[in-house]
Amino acid sequence: MLGQIPMWQRELRSRYKELELEVVGLVIEQLIGELASKYAEQHELLSYFERLHRDLLQQIELFSGTDEERESPPGADAPRFNRYKVNLLVDNRDGPAVPILHETNPTYQNLLGRIEHMARLGTIATDFTLIKAGALHRANDGFLLLEAEKLLANPYAWEALKRTLKSREIRIESLERQLSLVSTTSLEPEPIPIDLKVILIGDRHIYHLLKAYDAEFSQLFRVVADFAETLPRQPGNDQRFLRLVATLQQREGLRPIERMAAARIVEWAARRAGDGARLSLHMGSLVDLLQEADYWSAREQKEQIGVAQLEHAIEHQQRRVGQLQERMQQEILDGILMIDTDGIQLGRVNGLSVIQVGDYSFGMPNRISATARIGSGEVIDIEREVDMGGPIHSKGVFILSAYLNRRYARYQPLSVSATLVFEQNYGEVEGDSASAGELCALLSALGDLPLKQSLAITGSVNQHGEMQPIGGVCEKIEGFFDICQARGLDGSHGVIIPQVNLPDLMLKKSLREAAAEGLFSIYVVRHVEQAMELFTGMLAGVADEQGVYPKQTVNGKVQVRLAEWFALRLQLSGGQG
């Protein structure tokens, strides 16, 4: 009978186990049944509940524990229960119905997610609770906004994004394993289907580079939206722009803006756009201006932002970045950079250029000089000869040669050899906005026509001598005005600009006041001949039926000089044309 005791004990344990499984099974079945009824339409969840039911019955020992544990049972966060935890990757309950996510740091892991590890007893371990979602998970069924420049700057992020969009599923895979840098066993989460829209934000340069060099780009990103940086000043747009200003003022918690100050902001925006018919939409600069104007209002204990506070803000913004401008202006006033603002000179003219320093640009006068002598018709651009002239500037010089040939050499060779140069220039010259000044200096040298140095000129010309629009007209005018004002205005000073640039004028207050008092003038012209009339005080002249200009005119003097040189050239060549 004693020999049967072990058998009875095994039978007892077996029946106890069966009873325990039966009781626990009823409890589990009841709890899981409630969940199954609640999520009856989620077939994947129902399959998971079935697997969970079977596993719980097989792991009863995890819950029974020792006698001590029965007196004080472990909590649900105990490590032994990790296998039953739910790793909630994404929770959009408190967010919008359609998630809209802007990922500011689009690295490989931040986009696709990652598997984290923990150090345990000197080893690195992980489990499914350490799987972390990426931006693609959080934006699933919604929209993901990415900055193209940052995305391309992060290694492997761009390729991973394209791979995900093409396969329409997210695979969380460590970068080390993908590059075969490690061979340790790790988790392989199931791929997650995605359905979202990815919006890339970047400048046109990046778009065109991707379009040209990435064949998959056009397939994955088919909708292109090119946003303008400026707003046309059409009826109603000024009011819309001011509503935008009011929105920014309220968002930043700034003081209210007075009516006249609002008009000054519109003027500032047009000046920044470089076009009197458009308004700049650069939000960063606009917010900076409003915040600085608000600071001056607080300092002056004003309840509103007025024109004076805006002027303070604009003036101090320019002053903080205007060191180079101040130094160059002082060099002109000290005579280091030779710029005349009075008297007359032969073959010299004050041209105007724009210098860009970061986001700040300012205008400065440059002396353009020309020489002319008997020759075979070439116009030498010294800047181009020493590789200091850009292609657009060289094109402008060729256009000058074409103008001279068309105007004065239709029936005889152009017997002149001329040179053009920007005096005291030690950097590259680019652009054609000085071509009008170069042509005036060249005509002065050809016809012995002294030019007034109290005037400056900017503008591009075509082969017919017509003045074409240029950029930075306000900066150029103000640059010459500052020099003239420092030396003393006497009413003879002014700037000649193309007539088509007239709507672009948004000049500073001191210049407008000087113009109103007759101390500084702005002349708008359609043709370079009008500019020469202003420079010389002499009529340009109109040709008669034989193509001959009156002698006491600009064209007449140039024509006579060229005829003299042609005759002399024939004489020197022994009558051989």
pLDDT tens for 72-85 read 666 666 767 777 78
Nearest alpha-carbon partner for 520 in 488, 473, 498, 476: 488
Per the CB < 8 A criterion, the answer to whether 417 and 375 are in contact is: yes
pLDDT at 73: 63
144-191 pLDDT, tens digit per residue, is 999 999 999 999 999 999 999 999 999 988 877 777 666 666 778 888
Which residues are catalytic, by number?
433, 476
4-46 pLDDT, tens digit per residue, is 777 777 777 777 677 767 777 777 778 888 888 888 888 888 8
Give the span between the Cα atoms of 502 and 518, in whole angstroms.
Answer: 18
410-430 pLDDT, tens digit per residue, is 878 888 889 999 998 888 888
Give the span between the Cα atoms of 401 and 234, in whole angstroms.
Answer: 41
The residue type of 370 is: A
Give the span between the Cα atoms of 198 and 325, in whole angstroms.
Answer: 44
pLDDT at 69: 56
The pair of three-digit structure tokens given for residue 478, joined into one six-digit string: 């103000």
DSSP 128-182: GGGEE--HHHHTTTSEEEEEHHHHHHSTTHHHHHHHHHHHTEE----HHHHTTS-
Q: Please, what is the average pLDDT of the chain?
A: 87
Q: What is the pTM of this model?
A: 0.76
Mapped onto helix, strand or coil, the DSSP state of residue 521 is: strand
Give the span between the Cα atoms of 233 and 275, in whole angstroms.
Answer: 10
List of domains in the chain = 17-84 (no CATH), 100-220 (3.40.50.300), 230-320 (1.10.8.60), 336-568 (3.30.230.10)
Question: How far from the centroid of its chain's Cα atoms is residue 80's Cα?
Answer: 55
Per the CB < 8 A criterion, the answer to whether 457 and 496 are in contact is: yes
324 membership: H or E segment, kind and range: helix 323-333
Nearest alpha-carbon partner for 493 in 476, 472, 471, 515: 515
pLDDT at 64: 66
Nearest alpha-carbon partner for 36 in 22, 25, 48, 46: 46
pLDDT at 557: 92
Give the span between the Cα atoms of 226 and 206, in whole angstroms.
Answer: 12
Range list of β-strands (E), 307-430: 344-346, 348-357, 360-373, 378-381, 417-422
DSSP state of 518: T
> How many of the other CB atoms lie within 10 Å of CB of 349?
30
The residue type of 564 is: E
Greater confidence, 415 or 476? Answer: 476
Confidence category of residue 458, pLDDT binned at 50, 70, 90: very high
Give the span between the Cα atoms of 188 and 172, in whole angstroms.
Answer: 7
Please write down the HEC assignment for all residues of 78-139: CHHHHHHCCCCCCCCCCCCCCCEEEECCCCHHHHHCEECCEEECCEEECCHHHEECCHHHHC
5 membership: H or E segment, kind and range: helix 5-38
Mapped onto helix, strand or coil, the DSSP state of residue 454 is: coil
Work out the widest C-alpha separation in the chain, in whole angstroms: 151
Give the span between the Cα atoms of 572 and 460, in whole angstroms.
Answer: 37
> How many of the other CB atoms lie within 10 Å of CB of 300?
11
133-151 pLDDT, tens digit per residue, is 999 999 999 999 999 999 9
Per the CB < 8 A criterion, the answer to whether 498 and 467 are in contact is: yes
Nearest alpha-carbon partner for 471 in 354, 317, 318: 354
For residue 305, pLDDT over 80 is answered with yes
Angle between helices 435-447 and 554-572 (to 10 degrees): 60
